[in-house]
Amino acid sequence: MEGPELQLRFTYRASAPAHRRVKESPLSSDLIFKQSHAGLFNLCIVVLVAVNSRLIIENLMKYGLLIRTGFWFSSKSLRDWPLFMCCLTLPVFPLLAFMIEKLAYRAFISEPVVILLHVIITTAEILYPIFVILRCDSAVIAGITLMLIASVVWLKLVSYAHTNFDLRALSNSSKKGELAYPSHDNYHDVRFKTLAYFVMAPTLCYQQSYPRTTCIRKSWVIRQLVKLVIFTGLMGFIIEQYINPIVKNSQHPLKGNFLYALERVLKLSVPTLYVWLCMFYCYFHLWLNILAELLCFGDREFYKDWWNAKTIDEYWRMWNMPVHKWMVRHVYFPCLRNGLPKGVAVMIAFLISAVFHELCIGIPCHIFKLWAFLGIMFQVPLVILTNYLQNKFKNAMVGNMIFWSCFCILGQPMSVLLYYHDVMNRIGRTE
């Protein structure tokens, strides 16, 4: 008798044991994060499409089509022109940083002078767009876009200066015969081509070479560009058709009836969550991957599975990897090397993040209530709370639900309402 037939005859007999080892149910807390849930994910998509199709029809019947261009571009395009020119002139600052590094590489200027000049350049780079935005009555989205680009350039300038400073220190140590870090490439050179690639690359951490891919997949790039256009349009539709009517029919959340404000926040939570997820997908997955493909940039870990975050601390370490790597490289570990406690280093990292969140939102809105700053700094006690709860309950689901509730269901809608009413109040006082 052949092997398979023999195995079939003796393996599937009535006396063969059906239970051989200890197993958990697929939805138990021990296994829920260790297996695929593609079927449930598909079910969620089908349910969301069905529910939101009804909401779309109901919204269109109630309000009609509300798409307008005034939110995205000012009614007088000349108001946005100074911001556009400011954006075009930002590359001047990396060019100045390159000239300083070239002089330092040739030992024409001393190290303290190099540091002072870099401080002046980075400070001027971030103050320049702030001055332009505050002097112009431009669209809010145009101002936010400019501040985001300026913030990215600022982070790149800091990384460029800090990395070259460290490379010079390692190079000098090697020349003196001192022991350098064994796996570190101590070769130091300052080339414009390297800086130009870094300025365009989807990373905030400067290094003299990056892992590269061999070719550009043109058809892949086209498909991603089509997705980018579609999801950007979807974001605009949700903002105009859903978020704007809700916030217009709301009161200031800190001045009106508490239950009414809570109802507006909960009603706003779903469309803001959709916009936030679309924004994440458009920028971190589509745009950064498109840029990486065009530049043959190999390391494309722009995010991790932050949706499985069990604590606020895990979320901030996984959702924006370019910023996280910059913080670790240029803030957190330098603080530790200078003798600061870990808690203080984390506080400094959150403080820098809070300042730039406030600059990117408060400056374009022309209001200085520090809502974005306070929102980021409030993450510190949330980090402590979620870490405590995670250690206490030892359950990944508890921390994950707290993260989604605090960050997406309550935090983002509250921020939208606060900034909307403050902007409307400012416009009313101006008029």
| 357 is annotated as an active-site residue | yes
DSSP 81-119: HHHHHHHHHTTHHHHHHHHHHHHHHTTSS-HHHHHHHHH
Closest to 320 (Cα-Cα) out of 356, 296, 358, 270: 356
Task: Determine the Cα–Cα distance for residues 408 and 382; give it in Å rounded to an integer.
Answer: 14
DSSP class of 28: S
Task: Determine the Cα–Cα distance for residues 271 and 264; give it in Å rounded to an integer.
Answer: 12
First to last CA, the chain: 95
Alpha helices in 90-217 (DSSP H): 92-105, 111-135, 140-175, 192-200
Contacts (Cβ under 8 Å, ≥6 apart) of 189: 105, 208
Q: Which amino acid is at 125?
A: E
Which position among 118, 357, 366, 421 bears the catalytic label? Answer: 357
What angle do helix axes 342-365 and 140-175 make, rounded to 10 degrees? 150
Residue pair 96/123 in contact (Cβ under 8 Å)? The answer is: no
Residue pair 296/216 in contact (Cβ under 8 Å)? The answer is: yes
Q: How far is CA 222 from CA 204, 229, 292, 369, 379, in A?
A: 25, 11, 14, 42, 38
Contacts (Cβ under 8 Å, ≥6 apart) of 293: 213, 216, 217, 220, 221, 224
Residue pair 164/104 in contact (Cβ under 8 Å)? The answer is: yes
Task: Determine the Cα–Cα distance for residues 237 and 66; give it in Å rounded to an integer.
Answer: 9
Number of other residues whose CB lies within 10 A of the CB of residue 332: 18
Contacts (Cβ under 8 Å, ≥6 apart) of 1: 9
Q: Which secondary structure element, helix H or strand E, spans residue 418, and what is its range? A: helix 412-430
Among all residues, which ones are annotated catalytic? 357
